[in-house]
Structure 1
Amino acid sequence: MSQTNERITALDFARALAIFGMIIVNYKLAMQAENGGPAWLQSIAGLFEGRASALFVVLAGIGVSLMTSKARNSMNEELIRQSRNGLYRRAAFLFVAGVILLLMGWSADILHYYAVFMLVAAVLIAVSDNKILGLFLMILLTSQLLLVVFDYTQGWDSSFKQYAGFWTIEGFTRNLLFNGFHPVFPWLSFFLIGLWIGRKRWLNKENRSKVLLYSLSGTVVFETISFVLVQWNTPAFGKAAFYLFGTKPMPPNMLYVLSGICSALAVIAISVYMVEKFENSLLMQAVIHTGQLSLSHYIGHIVIGLGLLETVGYLENGKLSIAMAYGIVYFMLAIVFSAVWRKWLKRGPIELIMRKFC
């Protein structure tokens, strides 16, 4: 298998891991199980918070970069126009899908944010690597400044479960850009770094060991900096230290983004190694297929997975062990479904629908 195809299947494998992490985090959130269960289980569940979604967005950036590489490399105006129109249609589809999930009561949706990322990608197809990096840094620094200038808690209740005025123009815009679950500032940074990485040869055989080493080291460094700053500043600034220097996804500050990028790259590098070693195994193929159906599984784990819990009256049970177990079982069923589905069709159910529009 060529290195290009190997990289693409590795990205699919990493995408499946991201879906698994998002399922765990979202089921814990939906079941209101953030603080329940033993400490060791809380620690395991906490590993996925903000990391799985960050990985998902970085992978989206890499995927779009690979998808538009022909247009970018040729600089053919017609190819660029076609690629842009395809991204515009995809943005419209994802926005509508996301709004439907929001109307169904899923406030932690990521798809309507993705729509903005796709619009940005359409504009940046022919832009140089340095300009993408410059925009990344601008978004990162602006996001940190916004946390200082504006009230991040505006609109949220004390538990960060309900958002007042969400369906007003002001509330929706504020949530989308600044203080939603995956706001454009700074989550666009994850997407932009993915766009940039997709243009590089970082995942080729000669580079991947360096990527793994540097990304793991970066994660440790940024987490250590965060820990020191939070501990050092706590007596003087109270919660402001965590607010400005913590590495949790809410609020999403600079250290969280940098640590999240490093951990995402580490998972991608590990995925390349695993696919290279175990690609011919049935389980590996099934997990890769799960990543290829990621949009279907994202929507499915909300509509089907949470819908089933609501139907039986067990949605807000508050038990972390149940949330974790349910998430693991759902993901296992998703793997089986993907393996069977891909025997007949190349794209997942939602992917097929999107294909008709995009």
Structure 2
Amino acid sequence: MSQAKARITALDFARALAIFGMIIVNYRVAMQAEYSGLGWLQAIAGLFEGRASALFVVLAGIGVSLMTSKARSSMNEELIRKNRSILYRRAAFLFIAGLLLLLIDWNADILHYYAVFMLVAALIMTMSDHKILSLFSIILLASQSFLVLFDYRRGWDLNFKEYIDFRTIEGFIRNLLFNGFHPIFPWLSFFLIGMWIGRRRWLNKENRLKILLYSLSGTVVFESLSFFLVKWTSPVIGSDVAYYLFGTKPMPPTMLYVLSGICSAIAVIAICLYIVDKFEQSILTQAVINTGQLSLSHYIGHVVIG
């Protein structure tokens, strides 16, 4: 199997894992599922919280970069126009699909956010690597600043289960940009770093071990940094504020959460590359790959049927 095909199938494998994780989290959080007396099950479900969705968005960014690589390298205007048209249509479809899910009270929807990511991708697909990293940094820093400047709880009920004014224009925009389940600030950062990774040779076989070690180390570093910052600042600003500013949970999505989530997503992708390379002919591996290829269907299905 060629390296290019191995990369694509490994991304499908990773996408399936992301979907499985998102389903577990959605049933646990959005549907308020309880695990009475099963602390180990609660702990396992907690591992996916905010990580599965982050992996899903990083994979989306990588996928867009791979899809548009020919247009970007050739700078052929007709090819660029066609690729942009495809991304615009995808954005429109995902936005409508997301709105339909919202109509059945699925407030944890990711598709309408995903539509914005696709729209951004269409606009910046020919942007240089340096500018994409700069945009990533700006969004990340702005998102952390917004947590200080604005009221993150605004729009939510006391238990953070229902977004009260979601169906108003102001509430929808606030939810979309700032304090929804996957707001543009900072979730666009995951997508941008995915686009940037998709342009690199990181996914090639010769770089696999290095990327795995670096990403795992990064996860440990950012999680440790979060732990110590919370510990050191809690006596001064209070534990609630410390966790709010320096925690690594998806709500609120701090800078440390994004950086840790990116590292863990890259680590999972690297592991998936190893698995697909070694067990590509396995029935189970093929089943997982096929699941990843139908990720949108599974996502919609778990909402509507589940």
Range class of TM-score, shorter chain: over 0.9
Identify the residue that residue 288 of structure 1 maps to in structure 2.
Answer: 289
2:82 pairs with 1:90: no
SS of the residue corresponding to residue 206 of structure 1 reads helix
* CA distance in 1 between partners of 2:81 and 2:221 (Å): 42
The answer to whether the 8 Å contact 2:35/2:41 transfers is no
Q: Residues 325-344 of structure 1 correspond to what in structure 2 (within 5 A)?
A: none
Cα 1:262–1:92 shift into 2, 3 Å: same
The share of aligned pairs that are identical, in percent, is 77
Measure the CA separation in 1 of the matches of 2:272 and 2:203: 10
Residue matched to 2:274: 273
Please report the TM-score for the alignment, with normalisation by the length of structure 1.
0.84
Matched, 1:204 2:204: yes
Distance 1:95 1:290 in 2: 22
Correspondence list, 1:256-267, <5 A: 256-267=257-268
Cα 1:265/1:162, change in 2 over 3 Å: same
CA drift of 1:168 comes to 1.0
Q: Secondary structure at the match of 2:162?
A: coil
Residues 1-358 of structure 1 aligned to structure 2 (within 5 Å): 1-33=1-33, 36-238=36-238, 239-305=240-306
Given residue 134 of structure 2, which amino acid in structure 1 is its aligned partner?
A: G
* Paired letter, 2:58: V
Write the letter of the residue equivalent to 1:64. Answer: V
Secondary structure of 1:46's partner?
helix
Secondary structure, in 3 states, of the residue corresponding to 2:251?
coil
Distance apart, 1:41 and its partner CA: 2.1
Amino acid at match of 2:80: I
Q: Counterpart of 2:38 in structure 1: which amino acid?
A: P
3-state SS, counterpart of residue 155 of structure 1: coil
Question: Separation in 2 of the partners of 1:44 and 1:286?
Answer: 23
Moved more, 234-243 or 33-42: 33-42
| Offset, 1:43 | 1.5
Give unmatched runs, 5+ long, in structure 2.
Answer: none
Whole-angstrom CA distance in 2 between matches of 1:145 and 1:33: 33
Listed one character per residue, the Cα deviations across residues 2-26 of structure 1 (whole Å, up to 9, x for unaligned) are 1000000000000000001001001
Cα pair distance change 1:34/1:58, threshold 3 Å:
farther
Structure 1: stretches of 5+ with no match in the other structure = 306-358
Count of paired positions: 305
Task: Provide the C-alpha distance between the structure 2 equivalents of 1:211 and 1:172, rounded to a whole number of angstroms.
Answer: 38
Amino acid across the alignment from 2:200: K
| Alignment partners' CA distance in 2, 1:128 and 1:35 | 47
